[in-house]
Copies of this chain bind each other. A is one copy, B any other.
Amino acid sequence: MPRVTSPALATGTPPGTAAQVLDVAERLVQTRGFNGFSYADIAAELGITKATLHYHFRTKAELGGRLIARYTGTFRAVLESIGASSEPASEKLARYARVYAEVLRNERMCLCGMLAAEYSTLPPPMQQEIRRFFDLNEAWLSIVLEEGRRAGSLRFDGPAAEVAALFLGALEGAMLVARSYADPARFDSSSARLLNDLTAPAK
């Protein structure tokens, strides 16, 4: 028998089983890694069987792929939202960093940062989607950085793409290390310093 039959409300999508599975799986990947959880973990948490999981996501690789796709989609929407605002580029970068800080405060690592560690053990389709996530972030960052440099709110030398790569990597690494100390303030410190180097700045 179906466990939950919540009706589709006018507002928002109801939490169908597939969505609930994605929610739990996402948290497990972000905290334990793709090789650090099993279908049994998800099933136990939702009170369903592993067989039901396989009905919604035939294989773990497929679940992983859909996980990244959803995460990237959500992220893209956030980036577009921040990008569309009329704030100075420096503030857009600060808001971007705050997104990562929020993830960390939930005791999680960036989904794709976590998967990047396990990269060589993942199926090629997942690998490709991970790179796409990074590409998306760096492309967005490059645009914001260039915009800030033109407007004078940011100062840096060389290609914006290089600064974007540094910024992204530094945030990912700051999350990675801060998590070992269960200390979000560690991340905030590095984040603020990165921002400051781009605004106060050079020479």
Question: In whole angstroms, what is the CA distance A179 to B180 when docked?
Answer: 21
Q: Which residues of B contact A193 (CB under 8 A)?
A: 158, 162-163, 166
Give the number of times this chain occurs in the complex, counting copies.
2
Expressed in whole angstroms, the minimum distance between the Cβ of A187 and any Cβ of chain B is: 8
B180 near A166 (CB under 8 angstroms)? Answer: no
Contact size class for A?
A: 35 or more
Task: From the candidates B116, B120, B176, B177, name the one contacting A31 in the complex (CB within 8 A).
Answer: B120
Residue in chain B with minimal CB distance to A133: B180
Task: From the candidates B116, B169, B180, B197, name the one contacting A119 in the complex (CB within 8 A).
Answer: B180
Q: Which residues of B contact A171 (CB under 8 A)?
A: 173
Task: From the candidates B33, B175, B200, name the one contacting A121 in the complex (CB within 8 A).
Answer: B33
Taking the complex as formed, is A147 at the interface, i.e. its CB lies under 8 A from any CB of chain B?
no
Given contacts A117-B109, A180-B130, contact A169 B170 (CB under 8 A): yes
Residue in chain B with minimal CB distance to A177: B169
Q: What are some 7 contacts across the A-B interface (CB < 8 A)?
A: A116-B180, A131-B181, A134-B181, A166-B174, A166-B190, A171-B173, A197-B197
